[in-house]
Amino acid sequence: MAFKDRTEAGKILARKLQKYADRPDLLVLALPRGGVPVAYEIALALDCPLDLFIVRKLGVPGHEELAMGAIASGGFRVLNQDIVEQLSIPEWEVEAVAQREMQEMERRENAYRGSRPPVPISSRCVILVDDGLATGSTMLAAIRAVRAQKPSRIVVAVPVAPPDTCEAIRKEADDVICAETPVMFVAVGLWYRDFAQTSDEEVKHLFEEAARRSERKVQ
C-alpha cells in the first residue's frame, strides 16, 4: 500500500508538480468522485483554481466493470472499438448505456456545481487528476474532451497506474506524472490503506471550499 488515503496521495503528487506552481494560467481539473480529494490538495499546494471535469465509464452490459468507452463533460465520447467488436455489442446497446451515463453525468454536474459556471479551459495549462488509473479509458476521454477546448498544455497527474497505462496516456497528454507504477498492479484500491468511496457531499464540500479560496484571492 503506497498511500494512507487520497489526501496523502494528493500531497505527494503536489510535490511532484512543483515545476508548475508559478504559472498564472494553471487550472486543476478533478475527475469526480475519487479524484476530487486528490486534486484539492494539489490546487491548495500550487495555489491555483480547482474545477470539476466529469467523466463516466461506459460499462459493457452485464460486465459493467469492463469499459467499452467513456463520455465526458461537453458530450465528448470515446469508444474502445476493439472491445465493442470482440463482444459484438450492437450500436443500440452502446447508445442505451451512453444515454444512462449521460443522465448521471448531468445529475452530478447539477449536484456538485450548482450555479457556478465552469472555469474556461482555453489557453490554460490544465492538470487532470484522478485517484488512479487502471485501463485509462476515462482519462483518455477527459484528455480528448479537454484538448478540444484548446488548452495551452495538458498534464495528467495520478497517484498510481500500471506502466503500460501511463505510457498510453503519455501519447495523448503533454506531461504525465504517475507517482507509483507497479508492474503487479491488480487494482487502484489495493494501493490505498483507506479507499472508502468519496461521497457526493465530500465532493461538493471540497469544490465549494476551493471556489471560496479562489474568490478570496481575487478580492
Query: Which domains, from first to last, does the chain contain?
Result: 6-56+112-218 (3.40.50.2020)
Q: Once rounded to an integer, what is the mean pLDDT over residues 166-187?
A: 94
Q: How confident is the model at residue 2 (pLDDT cuts 50, 70, 90)?
A: confident
Q: What is the pLDDT of residue 65?
A: 76
Q: What is the pLDDT of residue 216?
A: 77
Q: What is the pLDDT of residue 219?
A: 60
Share of the chain above pLDDT 70, in %: 99
Residues 130 and 35: beta-carbon distance below 8 Å: yes
Q: Provide CB contacts within 8 A for 199, sequence distance 6+.
A: 33
**Residue 92 to residues 40, 59, 141, Cα–Cα distance (Å):** 38, 14, 21
Q: What is the pLDDT of residue 70?
A: 83
Q: Provide CB contacts within 8 A for 22, sequence distance 6+.
A: none
For residue range 32-65, list pLDDT tens digits in order.
999 999 999 999 999 999 999 998 889 999 988 7
Q: What is the pLDDT of residue 177?
A: 97
Q: How confident is the model at residue 218 (pLDDT cuts 50, 70, 90)?
A: low
Neighbours of 32 (CB within 10 A): 25
pTM exceeding the 0.75 threshold for the entire prediction = yes
Mean of the per-residue pLDDT values of the chain? 92
